[in-house]
Amino acid sequence: MNIDKESNYHRIIKIISTKPELEQITKKILSNKRISTDDALRLYKERDVGFVGILANYVREKMHGDKTFFNRNFHIEPTNICIYNCKFCSYSSKINQNSAWEYDIDKILDIVGSYKNIPVTEVHIVGGVHPNRDLHYYGNIISCIKKMRPDLHIKAFSAVELDFMIKKSGMTLEDGLLELKKYGLDSIPGGGAEIFDTKIRKEICDEKTSSLMWLKIHETAHKIGLPSNATMLYGHKENYSHRVDHLNKLRILQDKTAGFNTFIPLKYRKVNNDLTHLGETTTIEDMKNFAISRIFLDNFNHIKAYWPGIGKQAAQLSLSFGVDDIDGTIDDSTKIYSMAGAEDKNPKMTTKELISLIKQANRIAVERDSLYNILVFK
Ligand code: V47
Ligand code: SF4
């Protein structure tokens, strides 16, 4: 054990002498034992976020030391036209509204072409669920991108988009995913999970893909060799039990498949949507949520803070609360969070800025590819 970890350990021992009720949970964490859902709920109710943070940092440093991962990526959002009406969404439009956009294949290839000679390694493609577009329409987009940039990892389509496009093409789930893989799909992003609790899901996104279906899509993807990410949208109507239930369903699936690359908690942002009246969580709450995710999801290698969603400073702070990955350069290519009131209206960081943000937090910046293979240490 290095000095940092050892001093963390001693800080923990000192604190639990004043918090005997947390001793059993702390002992489990320090001896690499899995904590239960009741333990996670107890940690959520703990007022001392510093304590929960130290425990998460202990786990984080045991897994990754000071390494903090990032990648060079950009997003393409082919359309904001969506058949659904999620109450937290600030982004979607109906087909005939002035705010609607849809990029044709030429525009999409122009975007990809604009990265010629730029060493990006990943394109992240997500958007609304367009009523008229099926699997082959999106498959064609993917294969054209692959032809132009065979080196680019294509992480595309949330389970909600996949559910719709596969059904529209009349295919089974497994055949649809296999077909997309043939077109060039490399992995699946974590969107659309929202919160798995049936009652709360009904209140915030009644119409779209159910929790069971989201989990089935990711399980099937893992089975055919497509890795994926997982998310949880928090800070709206859910309570701590709903969050623990969500994390537990992910942990159970990961035990079965080991197909998730990372977990990304997504803080609800309140501007320009139907849940504005609920307000937003505090940064303290956000840090606690990262920390408990790190401790509870012992079978997830990585916890990611998506900086366009929470801002650069909170992402930097999260590196002391269990987070080991802060996503990528983004290059001002996503609107989902800027339209919902996030700090960065044009989210973009140069590699140099990302590295310096990580170094300021006394961590080591590690450029990764989409599967967390290490590319460069800084
Ligand atoms: O599913 C929509 C969320 C998700 C709001 O896999 C909102 O690497 C907060 O999943 N406030 C899509 N969140 C984005 C997503 C994602 C982002 C970054 C990286 C990855 C990855 C995946 O965005 C949606 C929904 O949960 N979302 N509106 C809002 N107002
Ligand atoms: Fe559509 Fe996604 Fe917005 Fe829901 S969150 S309305 S599925 S774009």
Ligand nearest to the CA of 273: 1
**Is 208 touching ligand 2 by the criterion CB < 6 Å?**
yes
Query: 163, 209 in Cβ contact below 8 A?
Result: yes
Tokens of 91: 């982004």
Report which ligand 1 atom has the smallest distance to the Cα of 267.
Answer: 9
Out of 73, 121, 126, 231, mutate this one to test ligand 1's pocket (max ligand atoms within 8 Å of CB): namely 231
Tokens of 336: 């989902």
**Is 128 touching ligand 2 by the criterion CB < 6 Å?**
yes
pLDDT tens, position by position, for the chain (378 residues)? 565 666 777 777 777 767 777 889 999 999 999 999 999 999 999 888 999 999 999 999 999 999 999 999 999 999 999 999 999 999 999 999 999 999 999 999 999 999 998 999 999 999 999 999 999 999 999 999 999 999 999 999 999 999 999 999 999 999 999 999 999 999 999 999 999 999 999 999 999 999 999 999 999 999 999 999 999 999 999 999 999 999 999 999 999 999 999 999 999 999 999 999 999 999 999 999 999 999 999 999 999 999 999 999 999 999 999 999 999 887 766 777 778 888 888 878 888 999 999 999 999 999 999 999 999 776
Quick one: which of 197, 229, 233 has its CA closest to 86?
233
Q: What gap in Å lies between CA 207 and CA 224, rounded to an integer?
A: 28
Please give the order of strands across the beta sheet that includes 260-267.
228-234, 260-267, 302-303
pLDDT at 336: 74
Ligand 1 centre from 2 Cα, in Å?
36
Count other Cβ atoms within 10 Å, centred on residue 252.
11
Ligand 2 centre from 142 Cα, in Å?
21
Ligand 2 centre from 167 Cα, in Å?
17
**Is 71 touching ligand 2 by the criterion CB < 6 Å?**
no
Ligand 1 centre from 266 Cα, in Å?
6
pLDDT at 4: 63
Domains and CATH numbers, the chain: 67-377 (3.20.20.70)
Which protein residue has the closest C-alpha to ligand 1 atom 28? 89
Q: Which amino acid is at 364?
A: I
